[in-house]
Amino acid sequence: MRFIFKLIQVVLALATTQAFAEKSPPPAIGNNPAYLKDSNGAAVLSNNGDCWHTGAWTPKLANIVGCDGVMATATPVPLPSPRVEAPPSAEPPPTVIAEREPVSEKVTLDTDTYFDFDKAVLKEEGRGRLIELATRLSGMTVEVIVAVGHTDSTGTESYNQKLSERRAQAVKEFLLSQALPADRMYSQGKGESQPLASNANRQGRAENRRVEVEVVGVRQQLGKAN
């Protein structure tokens, strides 16, 4: 019976830890150069909840709690202080609550359509797609824009890495021409290291030749007066 009681305690503790992790805010980055951070110093997360790496990332710098599986040591949570109610005034002034709505936008450019073969110059179709993206971002406070280039496995790894970097840089430069913030924009190449499909057939290789543009920001909304 004592063993069953201990087992129930362990299961409840794991469930509580998991529930807390799901509700925790993005981790603070501090001065660690291995991760992208927003204007508040918090980690920029991908759609999968992973922390975005910079080109300076190495396993030795993977020490941010909440990124790359790094766990924090459990600490006791203090009880909240008693709430003191202020005496109501005769005519409270109306207030307007400004709410910041998180916005995430991701666009994938098929390089077979938006770039010529083995080239890193955007075609007219690619420029039009990026103009549409920039238009949707108008009126939004952009925290970070990341352009990531990918290739299939045809050719050498070193050549594919450079090609993916050139195409990501071309996308970044065009977005800069659309008056998007330069200090919030990054580009990087992943070469052939992150395929979406199998490189064993033509269709799979075409899916792997791509540039992904991910945008994270907030849109200001005015709440009702109260």
Rounded distance, CA 163 to CA 120, Å? 7
Strands annotated E in 69-199: 96-110, 141-150, 185-189
The pLDDT of residue 98 is: 56
Please tell us whether the domain made up of 101-225 is placed in CATH 3.40.50.620. Answer: no
Q: How far apart are the first and last CA of the chain?
A: 56
pLDDT tens for 106-116 read: 889 899 889 88
Nearest to 207, CA basis, from 158, 154, 150, 157: 150
What is the CA angle 56-60-62, rounded to 5?
75
| pLDDT reading at 77 higher than 60 | no
Q: Tokens for 8? A: 């129930």
The pLDDT of residue 37 is: 83
The sign of the dihedral angle between the CA atoms of 166, 167, 170, 171 is: negative
Maximum average pLDDT range among 5-9, 28-32, 133-137, 170-174: 170-174
CB burial of 73-102 (b: ≥16 within 10 Å; e: otherwise) equals eeeeeeeeeeeeeeeeeeeeeeeeeeeeee
Q: Are 147 and 211 in contact (CB under 8 A)?
A: yes
Q: Which of 70-84, 145-159, 195-209 is predicted with the least confidence, judged by mean pLDDT?
A: 70-84
Rounded distance, CA 53 to CA 122, Å? 25
Alpha-carbon 54 to chain mean position: 12
Q: Are 209 and 151 in contact (CB under 8 A)?
A: yes
The CATH 3.30.1330.60 portion of the chain extends over 101-225
| pLDDT reading at 7 higher than 50 | no
| pLDDT reading at 162 higher than 50 | yes
Q: What's the chain's average pLDDT?
A: 79
